[in-house]
Amino acid sequence: MNEGRTPPAARSPAETYDELFVPALFQQWAGVVAAAAQVAGRQHVLDVACGSGVLACAAADRVGREGRVVGLDPNPDMLAVARRKSTWIEWQEGSAESLPFPTGCFDAVVSQFGFMFFTDPCAALREMMRVLRPGGRLAVAVCDAVARSPGYAALADLLQRLFGREVADAFRAPFVMGDGPRLQALCTEAGIADAQVRCHQGTVRFASIQALVSAERACVWTLGGLLDDEQFERLLQAAQRELQPFVHDGARIEFEMPALIVTAGQT
């Protein structure tokens, strides 16, 4: 049953993200990233590229009503979905590369799975550090390399065999920052001397192979608009074979998807 949910045909890309990807992938990381930034009671927290608000809401639970949480995103549709979740959190439109906040006004700055899409990631790191108070903490999570997520690696390879590298690379886009030395180098370039990059294990869970493939086809940040109906049916039939090793209990698909989390402190 889908009572209370937006019909699939009527979903905006932001609603698709929130209804399909948040429970399957991103919800599990909110507490992990908040903990990595040492978010605690009464703090002021900024969530950069907040999307539909899953991490900002987790931060709000930690800081309580005596704290403050701001969710920033360049996409007004994402913010519209986020506003349905909390009227207490401050939702604001803006870019990571030019944060609309004074220097040194947050105790923690967090960002979850948006960094790989930033226009200038080095500038974004500088900005996030700029708005941190002395003693404040930064935590930025990105998807690890696609090769370390076996189900998604298999799907990427399948897409390349069926439709060529361009389509496969569109699917691989969220994983492009999954490189510890590259992240460390970006932090060094941004002037962050004490940055640490650690790998954390996570799990992708969809109700079925069809649910996973349908979600990816609907995602405007990966396969959205790239496959017509006939191509989608070819992909779905092939995926039913290729992804069988990750099926549990006859239907549910589950596999590891690790993330890299960058942490640093403001001196």
Highest mean pLDDT range out of 8-12, 217-221, 247-251?
Answer: 247-251
Q: Domain for residue 1, yes or no?
A: no
67, 160, 185 from 267: Cα distances, Å: 22, 46, 20
Q: Comparing 58-67, 78-87, 219-228, which segment has the lowest mean pLDDT?
A: 219-228
For the cut 90, the answer to whether the pLDDT of residue 6 exceeds it is: no
- Is 174 contained in some domain? yes
Tens of pLDDT along 56-65? 999 999 999 9
pLDDT value at position 234?
A: 98
The total of structural domains in the chain comes to 1
Model pTM greater than 0.85?
A: yes
Residue 3 scores a pLDDT above 90: no
Listed in sequence order, the residues at least 6 apart from 158 whose beta carbon sits closer than 8 Å to its beta carbon are 235, 238, 239, 242
Question: Is residue 4 in some structural domain?
Answer: no
Is residue 10 pLDDT above 70, yes or no? no
- Asked if the structure places residue 188 within a domain, the reply is yes
Q: Please, are residues 258 and 198 in contact by the beta-carbon 8 Å criterion? A: no
CATH of the domain at 193: 3.40.50.150
Q: Is pLDDT above 60 for 251? A: yes
Mean pLDDT over 200-205 rounds to 98
Q: Is the pLDDT of residue 103 over 90?
A: yes
Give the whole-angstrom CA distance, residue 220 versus residue 14: 9
- Answer yes or no: is 170 within a domain: yes
Residue 2 lies in a domain: no
> Residue 7 falls within a domain, yes or no?
no
Structural domain range at position 251 = 12-265
| Domain contains 102 | yes
The mean per-residue pLDDT over the stretch 168-191 comes to 98
Tokens found for residue 76: 């007004």
pLDDT at residue 2 above 90? no
